[in-house]
Amino acid sequence: MSTPTSIDDILKNVEQLPAMPKAVTEIIRCLDDDSVEIEALVKQISSDIGLATRILRLANTPHFSVHGNIATVHDAVMLVGFKEIRDMVCVVGVKESMSQSKSVAFDYAQFWRHSLGVAVCARILASLVRLSPDTAFISGMLHDIGQLALILSAPDEFKLSVDYRISHDCQIFEAEQAVFGMDHAKVGAHLFKKWGFPQIICDAIEKHHMPDTDHTFLMADLVHVSEVLCHALEIGNEEHAIPPLSDQAMLRLGINFNRLRPYFAQIECEYQSAILMLD
């Protein structure tokens, strides 16, 4: 790829990144389709040998199978559960599709832990605000993917944004806006729109750093709140300062801090269980 010199150049380079496995994109597209049957999920997973192998390996860990004798994707789905396997597929597929670049010093392990923490938090809180837990999980998991897209498509500029963040003691999206003229939220949304992801997920990704603007994207508000909580609960070993929690986002969601507090222990517990998917 040529060195990007403008926002349009960067977005064009982002569009050239390899798409996620077809099985993953198809599963994400039908997240809220309750009519999807187990056999359809099994077929989608089995069509990708690498993905099927990872799912079987996960299903045979002591956490899921005492005897470790799960030999088929169908058996894995039956043992672990439809929605849990679907989460596994999305986490594994997303993680493995975004290759690591050695040209930029970046803590990929922390990035994925943080993403999974936001995903778990969003799924748990989604029921509280009457949003889809499955869509919330994927929106949380993907909310910062634009950072990886920027690293792969514009590594030199991304390094400048990291340096800017350190020298100005600001949030990464503010540093990206200063260097690129846009942030990773816009980049991630642009990429997923090109890949045909559901609009609600694209909107959640694009707007999650804009909670104080006048909008109606409740999934974006949920991702924002979930991200702040993950920082506050130190989920994902996030070392940076806790971003401010938007009163407007909380108001639109119809929740307050006291309503969130009882869920903290559950979030931490489910995160520890979900982290197995990243091993």
pLDDT computed for residue 14 by the predictor: 86
pLDDT computed for residue 239 by the predictor: 61
pLDDT computed for residue 263 by the predictor: 95
Return the residue matching tokens 């340096």.
163
Q: How far apart are CA 100 and CA 97, in angstroms?
A: 9
List per-residue pLDDT tens for the chain, 279 residues long: 444 557 888 888 888 888 788 888 888 877 767 777 888 889 888 988 888 998 898 888 888 876 778 999 999 988 888 888 888 888 888 887 777 777 678 888 899 999 999 999 999 999 999 999 999 999 999 999 999 999 988 888 999 999 999 999 998 999 999 999 999 999 999 999 988 889 999 999 999 999 998 888 999 999 999 999 999 998 876 666 788 899 999 999 999 989 999 999 999 999 988 887 776
Backbone angles phi, psi at 235, to 5 degrees: -85, 130
Burial track 88-122 (b if 16+ CB lie within 10 A, e otherwise): bbbbbbbbebbeeeeebebeeeebbbbbbbbbbbb
Domain-wise residue ranges, the chain: 18-97, 102-279
Give the chain's largest Cα–Cα span: 55
If 0-12 CB within 10 Å is exposed, 13-18 middle and 19+ buried, where does residue 170 land? middle
Q: Where are the beta strands (DSSP E) in the chain?
A: none
pLDDT computed for residue 257 by the predictor: 87
pLDDT computed for residue 2 by the predictor: 45
pTM of the model: 0.88
102-279 sits in which CATH class? mainly alpha
